[in-house]
A and B are shown apart, each in its own frame.
Chain A
Amino acid sequence: MLVNEKIAIEHGLKSDEYKKICKLLKRTPNITELGIFSAMWNEHCSYKSSRIHLKKLHTKGKKVIQGPGENAGVIDIEDGDAIVFKIESHNHPSFIEPYQGAATGVGGIMRDVFTMGARPIANLNSIHFGSTQNKKTKNLLRGVVHGIGGYGNCMGVPTIAGQTSFDRSYNGNILVNAMTLGLVKKDKIFYSKAAGLNKPVIYVGSKTGRDGIHGASMASASFDEKIEEKKPTVQVGDPFTEKLLLEACLELMSGDSIIAIQDMGAAGLTSSSIEMASKGNLGIEINLNKVPCRETKMTPYEIMLSESQERMLIVLESGKEEIAKKIFDKWNLDFAVIGKTTNTKNIELFFDNKQVANIPVNTLVENSPMYDRKWKKSKLPKKNKIDKTTLKSLKIKDTLKKILSSPNVCSKEWIWQQYDHTVMGDTIQKPGGDSGVVRVHKTDKAIAATVDSSATYCWAHPLTGGKQVVCETWRNLISVGAKPIAVTNCLNFGSPEKEENMGEFVECVQGISEACKYLDYPVVSGNVSFYNETKDIGIKPTPTIGGVGLIKDYKKMITMDFKEIDNIVLVIGKTEGHIDQSLLSRIILNENNGPPPEVNLFNEKNNGLTLLNLMEKNFIKSAHDVSLGGIITALSKMCLKGNKGIQIKKPNFLINEIEYFFAEDQGRYLIEINAKDLKEVSKILDKNSVHYDEIGKIIDKEMIIDQKTKLTIDELKSYNTNWLKSYMD
């Protein structure tokens, strides 16, 4: 097939990008080569719109062993142990085929982690759906949850935490972000950099089929009404094979046979081979007839662009082929020597004894397009003038009921009960807490992980929103007693070709970077998902942050359930009464404008570290961060989890009671302490200039707000736990 500009454009390339290809090659590419360029140069693989801005992220720190640029990030957790982790999106496929889209998203991220030699020890996910009124939402939610469970449960990796939200802006584009953490010895980490000449290049795992061809290109385009026709580009997952692949790879990794290893994810054999060659500054020669194929008569083009799952590419030490083959035979997986490393610095493909592609590796990687797209700075919206009489007319009990049972606050038990969260026998904090926590097997250490996003805040003001999400994950980790170490980010946005969307991206990234830098909480891995829009309607900017922290002694882990009657509850951090963009404002007052709550990084850091200090001294019995729905919502959750009540005493403030209870000011926590420790705790808080109020005392089975307003724990439970289940039934 002769290639021309029209065919290039059908491959998603722009006219000037095609011209650049011809110029770099000094000739017209053939169809296989064009396919390879289109796969490497699409947004998903090349980060062409985001690269220039991602450089600004804060990525360094004392605990960082590997930052962005590898299959996943790696952090040091002492004693020779390291945690490998990353989050990735699988948004587009999940909208088209929710079960397989979500399942292969989970499979892909786990592969990224075990490619580096780490055994996956925990999965998390952040999933976002359209309005609960939208007729597609229910099926999409059901399919995605089944898919995540179907894959993760079979792999035997616990799903320990997650986030689910509903917002109209996801009606035509749901988000499915999957995160995995793995455990590895610091001196047994594997990388994707090839080295040495004439080293065998090995293909292992499943056979290659025609599924997923051009999946990465699909993820780099917006949707239109013909989206259902794209079903064949969604890959099909096989968690059983992945489980075998995991065990086989870890078995091979325990020896010294591997030089470099890379999973075949987006753009399959193309990106994995090119990545390894590029990092090693080498060439690679592949005989495509040697690639194990599932279907007959597959062309070089199809073999190179297939996104069949559960496959790996390995550069082996010469002479280790037999040892490696024996392991993969034991696990019943395909094993084939398909090529070798060369000094040409080209990727050379052969098929039926003919050369079918010959491309300099640097043209695909270093010379890939990079755009400094136009972007629009957003202004901080004006504060709303909230009518005090409207606020005063609200009944606390009714308002709380509506908030506790609202889709974004209600219990997500219906979802996480479908995920195996206890396999591997080390889950010490299950979903439903501030962070999931797993022990580091056979040690006293534990790893806490959380995932969060706040699209509403980011939409109202991207810079503040970006900071806020980072701080929210920081607080989630602190609340379980973990010292936050690093984050991974999944940046979900609309089209970068629109100035508003690009502006949201640039400013969210800036906010993330500022917060990460201030908190010494670097970004070590991540991915970008643009073009989350259908028929020109984009999603709200949704950067998702996955935070990871360390608990040195797992017995000191904190949970949010109230522990003991007569203990005192303190609010840490100042309550100013910020209502704009709060849940109260949006679902009770029907007001969607105004600025998000301000983020004060000094307070965030100071409050968090002071709490860790108090936890170290065993003063804190339970803790929970204050987020959506404010203090009263957070208190309700502590009550219903602990099956205990609270006698609230509202501190003397100038702000209205409703504002005090429902405001979403940042940097706040609720902590439970023993009354006898109050003096000592106050001293430490005062010394560190941490603002606190005493909000009440724990009592039995009832939340008493004032003499007229009382709620039983059973009432709180029924508001919070029933909504999702009855919605789905």
Chain B
Amino acid sequence: MIYHWVNAKGAETGVGTYEPAWVETYRRENYIRVDPVILGCAQAFHPMDWKQLDWSSKAARQFQADAIAHGVGNQGLSIPIRGPNGQYGLFTVSHSADDQAWAEFIETHRRDLILIAHYFNQKAIELEPERVPETTQPLSPRELETLTLLAVGYNRAQIARTLNISEHTLRVYVESARFKLGAMNTTHAVANALTRGLIIL
């Protein structure tokens, strides 16, 4: 797993689970110039399977062989993220697996992978030294009402009825609030909103 981001000023940072030897090699060989993942994801905001990237050049093939030799794996999925104000992040998971096993893994976990990628990115934005506090979006009145009703123990159907909206729309408010609060699940979002004093019972 690796997460790499570029802030609004162009400064780069990364965290990951790659072997230090590989990180070292990547830097020494200046692989960022030939890495098809970097080149392919720079101008997109959709997830990219590594098989779909252009590995045709000799430099790219050499890079791939070196990466596999360092335990990066033959499969990978990279999720580019365009944050606010030119911020940019790239989240990658990689593994050694055959095509079928990999496809099954992605199909099963796509939702979680997309969410994890964005949570990483939100944390990165929060950790920016010169971050303007307002970059965290405030909760909307509807989101606050939804969280309050969840906190007092209403179920989704009851909340939808109370707010006179469909459960479908309710789900959007919950998801949006969850994302803004950086919460792992709905319970976490409610707890988070309570501790921050955003909702009061």
The answer on A and B forming one complex is: no
The interface of chain B, by Cβ under 8 A from chain A, is: none
